[in-house]
Chains A and B, each alone.
Chain A
């Protein structure tokens, strides 16, 4: 009996080994005049030395087998594929290849076996940078846009391997009392030690994770528009800046862009995590402030704002604001602002205009300051702030030393290039883009050199490169971190399901900017 089992196991092993494509360089081949067509496009990109293997697919319907030969710095790597063209590289060999070529280049030769024999395509290259990328990127996986949600989760991908683990997933099966949405996860300065995300609908609140423990809070005050929305964790203090937005979305009927998401009102809040106190940073009626972002020194808060009063007809009541803005959705434009902050006294100074995008008929959103504090990376589109649905949206950078603003041409595409996050060494950034199929956003990584220029970005590698096509979810809100999230799924589940949100105490900040002209309805509580 034992002998039979052993025989079966040996047979299975033999079959498995036999099935694996044997990589062997063809001894005879003819030269092709073209480069191989590969997916994703990894030609001429700059990659970090710690990235996972850039597996890819060679598309050549006339070929029945493929071999890829990577070489550089005295190291080489061979990988083969059957007629499906899926090239999967050995991780150990890949790591050795990258290590040997730090700061250098790797040459890639692709061979295809056709009826007439092997064909060698023109080789291409990619470069390996000296600087590594933060190992982890967290994102939400959700179907692109629209109103409803069902199964969604926040996941963490180890970029040095192919490991993807859920940080939190909502209920898998529909249950009226359980359905909830999760969004806007954020870390403090690239460390998962302090983390937060929001839960909407059932079990709602903002989940704050500190010291490995999670608790749930909420902002309920007559002066606060809704709850905390877009967050930014202060780099040194136990503070979080939030925007609070009254948001709506509409669906185009005949337009290249499918969805428009607009704010009707928005303000900025400051939340003191330790004291569980919330206050306004800016509270205005006709300025829509959103997307707060701290500078790494914690002394400046950047944000976007749009002045909507000129778009509104004064004679019409406040209840028509949404409809009025809807009719002028493509005239809604956001500028980049900054406001000084003194961490010691927790006081704010006067807002300053950083980039007047509205005057050039453009609009800015998602400012993110580089870890060295020199650059602000932001997205610029023709209008609005929800640029993840705007094809005009491109990545731009402002040099805070020179004041120069310019697009990151090398990283941008014809489609949406939007939400982005810096690696902690400032040499890499990850961003979401819809360039692959114009609908499902995917994550790209680009090198950012010391001169403030980006290089051609590359799609984050997958063990099976076809997964980029088959996945029916979008990558949403990528956030990089040096370390992995340590709190368990169970602990987050327990916090979300079993605890009630603790209401933050509203404590007005005397230095807050308050402009409430024209507000109707209940008298606002003045800070």
Chain B
């Protein structure tokens, strides 16, 4: 027995001796697979993918999910088809509070699944490559779905599906083991009877498929990881991080990213200085609603947009609509808590905090916001909330009177603001929507001052129809020559603005007149996005 098991190994060594000298890469493959079994390498590769590369996406999936042990609260999940699976899947997803930990568990599940697949199907030699395919397919499906894996809270399936597969495989393996007494292959060593060359082939195929998966993500879904990292930073209030990441991906354009970036700029007082540093043309995203139809992804940014815009009730409204549709999520409960605190709805804040207290690993949020309950001074002393207070409306009106999303629609019609920040936001929205008459109407309070760069450029543009407008402001002379040069330079491109927009962007990045003529050409006076009104009614 011993002899027969060693023979193929010797033969394989002879066969592969020549190529070893020729190709270093094959050599290192062999060396790697000789020292580390393929399964172990596969484990580390999947851990790298699930913990580091895609960790931010799973982390946000966790935020877009909710799990507590109490089955009464979780009835909204348990009462759905595959409720138990979704429930357990959501529980495991909580580990992604620490992406390395969540990634470790996912890698273990995928690796174990591969191992059991090989055992159940009795795969040997090069055929053993097949055992990795289900796990690789899972990674490919997750990548293909992109934002859809957590959008509309289908988060239970992220771990639920591999878990189900693992259970099925375990049952199969147990049955096989009970009846055939077939020995299980080693987990931490290459199976006996397989040559290094076969291991190289396995490893090679794994690497190629993984590279293809990652390549597809970078090529077709590059925004997924960026949006998730931005959302993560938004929740951590890392405003500088958001700006840095958004500018690094300035050519990428989507609304969730633009909203995060705008929020970061508002929070750092730079909305009228740096808004146009990123492209604002809004490429289509691969994201689908509950109806499986293409969705405009407003769910990802409208509640936060309203909150950071100072529209607390509308943020509550948007959160509640989403909670109705998807059930509670950690992200919505946190935002609802902050809204309730700002509205001094202490009992409501306590309610949401009680629901968050039941979720593992949410201590940091509770530690920060629990002391604010019934302490308005602490709420108002919070830097984020204090800044938001400055842009709250002064008078009541109805949401329905404004274009959607509200944080833009309201600012287009702002008549009276409680601070210079409110005016700046309003002017910025007027410029963003290219509604120059509204922009000019709102300039009066800053007459005689030196406006910020973007507003100066807006004034220069508006001057075409209102000659002499710039004379009411100081510092305009320095801006004028650049504007004239720009108008002269872009003249040849004006005949096909959409066609030349991308080409000109790197040159004029951050410059408002470029945006005015070449950016966001789809924008109209009508709504930019809107929440689906399906299934709506008076409740």
A positions within 8 Å CB-CB of B? 142-151, 169, 172-174, 176, 179, 181, 183, 200-201, 247-255, 258, 260-261, 326, 436-440, 466-467, 469-472, 476
Given contacts A254-B396, A260-B398, contact A172 B80 (CB under 8 A): yes
A248 → chain B closest CB, angstroms: 7
**Chain A contacts for B70, CB-based, 8 A:** 470
- Pair A251/B537 contact, Cβ less than 8 Å: no
**Chain B contacts for A201, CB-based, 8 A:** 535, 537
When A and B form their complex, which 7 residue pairs have the shortest distance between CB atoms, in order from nearest? A437-B347, A147-B536, A174-B290, A251-B399, A250-B398, A255-B396, A254-B393
- Pair B321/A147 contact, Cβ less than 8 Å: yes
Given contacts A148-B535, A249-B538, A253-B314, contact A437 B351 (CB under 8 A): yes
A-B residue pair count with CB separations less than 8 angstroms = 131
**Chain B contacts for A174, CB-based, 8 A:** 290-291, 325
B194 in the interface (beta carbon within 8 A)? no
- Pair B410/A149 contact, Cβ less than 8 Å: no
Besides A145-B320, A254-B394, 20 other A-B contacts (C-beta < 8 A): A146-B321, A147-B537, A149-B537, A149-B539, A151-B76, A174-B290, A174-B325, A179-B535, A252-B398, A253-B313, A253-B393, A254-B392, A255-B396, A437-B348, A438-B345, A438-B348, A439-B345, A469-B351, A470-B73, A472-B73
**Chain B contacts for A144, CB-based, 8 A:** 320
A155 → chain B closest CB, angstroms: 12
- Tell me the complex Cα distance, A258–B539, Å: 13
Q: Which residue of B lies closest to A263 (CB)?
A: B538
Contact residue among B72, B290, B345 (Cβ-Cβ distance under 8 Å from A437): B345
- Pair B533/A147 contact, Cβ less than 8 Å: yes
- Pair B347/A150 contact, Cβ less than 8 Å: no
- Pair B351/A250 contact, Cβ less than 8 Å: no
B353 → chain A closest CB, angstroms: 10
A414 → chain B closest CB, angstroms: 12
28 A–B contacts from the bound complex (CB under 8 Å): A143-B539, A144-B320, A148-B321, A148-B324, A150-B325, A151-B327, A172-B81, A176-B534, A183-B539, A201-B537, A247-B538, A248-B538, A250-B399, A250-B400, A252-B313, A252-B397, A252-B399, A253-B313, A253-B396, A254-B396, A255-B313, A258-B313, A438-B345, A439-B345, A440-B351, A469-B351, A470-B358, A476-B539
Q: Which residue of A lies closest to B346 (CB)?
A: A437
- Tell me the complex Cα distance, A284–B451, Å: 58
**Chain B contacts for A467, CB-based, 8 A:** 72
**Chain A contacts for B355, CB-based, 8 A:** 470, 472
Given contacts A146-B320, A148-B535, A149-B535, contact A172 B79 (CB under 8 A): yes
Q: Which residue of A lies closest to B311 (CB)?
A: A253
What are the interface flags for B523-539 relative to A under an 8 Å C-beta threshold, 1 for contact and 0 otherwise?
00000000001111111
How many residues in B have their beta carbons less than 8 Å from beta carbons of A?
48
Contact residue among B313, B345, B536 (Cβ-Cβ distance under 8 Å from A254): B313
Q: Which residue of B lies closest to A247 (CB)?
A: B538
Contact residue among A143, A254, A471 (Cβ-Cβ distance under 8 Å from B320): A143
**Chain B contacts for A143, CB-based, 8 A:** 320, 323-324, 539
- Pair B317/A438 contact, Cβ less than 8 Å: no
B positions within 8 Å CB-CB of A? 70, 72-73, 76, 79-81, 290-291, 311, 313-314, 316-317, 320-321, 323-328, 345, 347-348, 350-351, 354-355, 358, 392-400, 406, 410, 533-539
A392 → chain B closest CB, angstroms: 15
Given contacts A149-B535, A150-B324, contact A251 B398 (CB under 8 A): yes
B516 → chain A closest CB, angstroms: 29
**Chain B contacts for A148, CB-based, 8 A:** 321, 324-325, 534-536
**Chain A contacts for B72, CB-based, 8 A:** 467, 470-471
- Tell me the complex Cα distance, A437–B350, Å: 9
**Chain B contacts for A247, CB-based, 8 A:** 538
- Pair A258/B316 contact, Cβ less than 8 Å: yes
B50 → chain A closest CB, angstroms: 28
**Chain B contacts for A471, CB-based, 8 A:** 72
A519 → chain B closest CB, angstroms: 24
A412 → chain B closest CB, angstroms: 18
**Chain B contacts for A440, CB-based, 8 A:** 348, 351
- Tell me the complex Cα distance, A148–B326, Å: 11
- Tell me the complex Cα distance, A472–B397, Å: 27
**Chain A contacts for B290, CB-based, 8 A:** 174
**Chain A contacts for B350, CB-based, 8 A:** 437, 469
A328 → chain B closest CB, angstroms: 12
- Tell me the complex Cα distance, A475–B141, Å: 41
- Pair A181/B537 contact, Cβ less than 8 Å: yes
- Pair B396/A252 contact, Cβ less than 8 Å: yes
Q: Which residue of A lies closest to B319 (CB)?
A: A146
Given contacts A436-B347, A470-B354, A472-B328, contact A254 B395 (CB under 8 A): yes
Given contacts A148-B325, A181-B537, contact A251 B291 (CB under 8 A): no
**Chain B contacts for A476, CB-based, 8 A:** 539
**Chain A contacts for B537, CB-based, 8 A:** 147, 149, 181, 200-201
**Chain B contacts for A437, CB-based, 8 A:** 345, 347-348, 350-351
**Chain A contacts for B394, CB-based, 8 A:** 254
B366 → chain A closest CB, angstroms: 15
- Tell me the complex Cα distance, A273–B396, Å: 45
- Tell me the complex Cα distance, A105–B270, Å: 66
Q: Which residue of A lies closest to B314 (CB)?
A: A253
**Chain A contacts for B80, CB-based, 8 A:** 172-173
- Tell me the complex Cα distance, A172–B396, Å: 37
**Chain A contacts for B396, CB-based, 8 A:** 252-255
B406 → chain A closest CB, angstroms: 8
- Pair B324/A146 contact, Cβ less than 8 Å: yes
**Chain A contacts for B73, CB-based, 8 A:** 470, 472
Contact residue among A149, A251, A438 (Cβ-Cβ distance under 8 Å from B313): A251
- Pair A147/B313 contact, Cβ less than 8 Å: no
**Chain A contacts for B395, CB-based, 8 A:** 254
